[in-house]
């Protein structure tokens, strides 16, 4: 039955939102029954990177067509690029606002609604977006779904010419030609699973005649970010003012050296217990939480006054009568974020009565996206991978270890996270001793900033490292643009080369209240592990 547009009350073309995900899955299953559907992580990444380029056509609020695209500079890609290379396996984290080309990676039209010019509406919307963004052109890698019928009789170039001369018809190429696209060249092995096209595609171009030739866009060659890691000495103090004075000293140092981030160690506020006097560990953790308002006010004021983003180590925080180990991110614009420690060590559980958080987060800052793994959390690779899949470029690891074995676990796993995720990792620990505070009487640390291991980075993947067990700071620059390029053109590309067809990481959304770790009966005998 031929569809009549007059039968529909409303036709709307708009950018997709996360609420459209289930509708998108249903559309994909109708259009490509044998294709693996877009994962929620891929769709969230597409929306985060370039929501304007993720378009949908709705008939009476039903999604009947979609188109996905990104902006890039084609000169950064090989001549015979693949869909996987261009689309970042569907995540489009290579979207480049400084690029000059809108590249279309997918178009779908519901088979039940063909004949209503849904595809043309999507292509027109792409053209309008190209003009709006003042881009030179649109490129698409076009499938040749009818070529398999002729591949025994003609070369792919002969087939393309025959379609262009209207001797043959191809549902994709013919449609693209009718919509003003021209053939640039033929690409081999564009989609390895596209047997209908014999793995070929045509690179199609639409030129934006309204493009305004202004001064050439300045390509970003470097995007340095300066990090300061504080190797903080735990010493007996007499008041909160003494603690604040010590904190301000290091924030001032970081600011003087124009750091963008300053990282303090885990549980540095346990120094306050040196004048509180409570010896029972569970009660001491709750007593320490009474300083939360002062702690937050101090670090927030410092971040604004000294114009530096501060990862304030971590602090025992009481919520709903539960003690959490929380790391706070104090932005220099006054915003405050927090990351709850997700994996609690036996020491924290038995000694302090700490309960685990259940939500890994990634934070937007004025120097890229960052995440926080509190000490023991970095020993679980799933958390760092989750952060990177959600755009993290720097991972901060505040830690507190009492001896070399614990430190070694943190150090080696932190460097492993940097290599396997192609991310910068900064670690900062406590040194010194407070004999009067049970379980915090000795410390062992060597703070550092790690990089991936490749020619673009420092030797041994270490951009800076401190002396062991000495109070000091480590300051170094990391380059986010170098990181971005290496993720796509490095000697090895572990992010791109993951076998997504073989395995995946899945997180369950649960409430912290659903998780309760039993605290052992309090004693003054110290457990052996502290991370």
- 326 forms beta bridges with 315, 340
DSSP assignments along 97-164, one per residue: TT-SEEEEEEEEE-GGGTTS-HHHHHHHHHHHHHHHTT-SEEEEEE--TTGGGTTTTS-HHHHHHHHH
For residue 75, which phi and psi values (nearest 5 degrees)?
-65, -20
The backbone region for 60, taken as left when phi is positive above 0, alpha when psi lies in -120 to 50, beta otherwise, is: left
DSSP codes joined into one string, 363-422: EEEBTEEEEE--GGGGGSHHHHHHHHHTT--EEEEE--BSSHHHHHHHHHHHHHHHHHHT
Catalytic residue among 42, 106, 266, 379: 266
Q: Measure CA 387 to chain center.
A: 5
CA distances to 8, 206, 250, 313 from 184, rounded to whole Å, are 38, 10, 58, 54
Catalytic, 266? Answer yes
Residue-wise DSSP of 423-460: -EEEEE-EEE--TTSTT-S--B---EEE--SSTTS-GG
Strand ranges (E), 162-264 = 182-187, 201-207, 224-234, 261-263
Structure tokens at 187: 């690409």
CB 342 within 8 A of CB 358: yes
Rounded Cα distance, 309 and 303, in Å: 6
Residue 254, helix vs strand vs coil: helix
Q: Let me know if 341 is a catalytic residue.
A: yes
From 341, 471, 496, 531, the catalytic residue:
341
Q: Yes or no: say if 27 and 73 are a contact pair by the CB < 8 Å rule.
A: no
Q: Using CA atoms, how far apart are residues 122 and 344, in angstroms rounded to an integer?
A: 50
Residue 206: strand pairing partners: 138
Q: What is the DSSP letter of 2?
A: -
Name the phi and psi angles at 11, rounded to 5: -120, 120
Q: Which residues of 7-29 are buried (b: 16+ CB within 10 A; e: fewer)?
A: eeeeeebeebeeebbebbbebbe
Q: Is 178 annotated in the active site?
A: no
Tokens 């010419």 found at: 161
Catalytic residue among 130, 228, 229, 375: 375
Q: Cβ(302)–Cβ(248) under 8 Å?
A: yes
Determine how many CB atoms are found less than 10 A away from the CB of residue 252: 14
Among all residues, which ones are annotated catalytic? 266, 341, 375
């Amino acid at each position: 039955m031929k569809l009549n547009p007059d039968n529909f009350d409303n036709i709307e073309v708009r950018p997709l939102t996360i609420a459209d995900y289930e509708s998108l899955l249903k559309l994909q299953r109708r259009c490509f029954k044998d294709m693996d559907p877009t994962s929620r992580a891929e769709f969230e990444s597409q929306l985060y990177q370039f929501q304007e380029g993720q378009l949908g056509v709705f008939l009476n609020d039903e999604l009947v067509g979609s188109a996905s695209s990104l902006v890039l500079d084609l000169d950064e890609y090989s001549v015979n690029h693949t869909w996987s290379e261009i689309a970042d396996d569907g995540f489009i984290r290579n979207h480049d606002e400084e690029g000059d080309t809108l590249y279309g990676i997918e178009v779908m039209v519901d088979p039940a609604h063909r004949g209503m010019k849904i595809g043309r509406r999507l292509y027109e919307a792409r053209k309008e977006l190209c003009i709006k963004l003042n881009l030179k052109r649109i490129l698409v890698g076009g499938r040749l779904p009818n070529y398999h019928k002729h591949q025994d009789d003609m070369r792919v170039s002969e087939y393309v010419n025959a379609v262009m001369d209207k001797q043959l018809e191809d549902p994709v190429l013919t449609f693209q030609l009718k919509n003003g696209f021209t053939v640039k060249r033929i690409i081999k092995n564009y989609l390895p699973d596209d047997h209908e096209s014999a793995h070929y595609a045509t690179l199609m171009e639409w030129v934006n005649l309204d493009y305004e030739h202004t001064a050439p866009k300045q390509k970003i060659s470097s995007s340095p970010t300066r990090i300061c890691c504080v190797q903080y000495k735990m010493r007996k103090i007499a008041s909160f003012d003494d603690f604040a004075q010590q904190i301000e000293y290091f924030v001032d140092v970081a600011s003087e050296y124009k750091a963008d981030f300053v990282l303090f160690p885990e549980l540095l506020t346990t120094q306050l217990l040196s004048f509180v006097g409570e010896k029972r560990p569970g009660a001491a953790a709750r007593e320490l939480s009474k300083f939360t308002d002062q702690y937050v006010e101090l670090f927030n004021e410092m971040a604004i006054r000294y114009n530096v983003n501060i990862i304030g180590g971590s602090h025992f925080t009481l919520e709903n009568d539960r003690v959490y180990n929380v790391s706070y991110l104090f932005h220099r614009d006054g915003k405050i974020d927090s990351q709850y420690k997700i994996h609690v060590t036996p020491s924290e559980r038995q000694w302090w009565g700490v309960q685990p958080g259940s939500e890994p987060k990634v934070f937007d800052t004025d120097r890229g996206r960052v995440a926080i793994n509190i000490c023991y959390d970095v020993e679980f690779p799933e958390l760092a991978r989750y952060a990177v899949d959600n755009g993290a470029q720097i991972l901060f690891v505040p830690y507190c270890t009492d001896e070399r074995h614990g430190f070694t676990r943190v150090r080696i796993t932190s460097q492993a996270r940097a290599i396997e995720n192609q991310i910068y990792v900064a670690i900062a620990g406590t040194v010194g001793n407070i004999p009067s505070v049970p379980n915090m009487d000795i410390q062992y640390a060597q703070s550092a900033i790690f990089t991936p291991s490749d020619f673009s980075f420092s030797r041994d993947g270490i951009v800076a490292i401190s002396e062991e067990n000495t109070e000091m700071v480590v300051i170094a620059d990391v380059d986010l643009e170098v990181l971005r390029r290496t993720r796509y053109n490095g000697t090895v590309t572990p992010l791109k080369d993951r076998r997504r067809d073989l395995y995946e990481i899945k997180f369950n959304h649960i409430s912290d209240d659903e998780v309760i770790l039993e605290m052992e009966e309090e004693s003054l005998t110290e457990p052996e592990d502290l991370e």
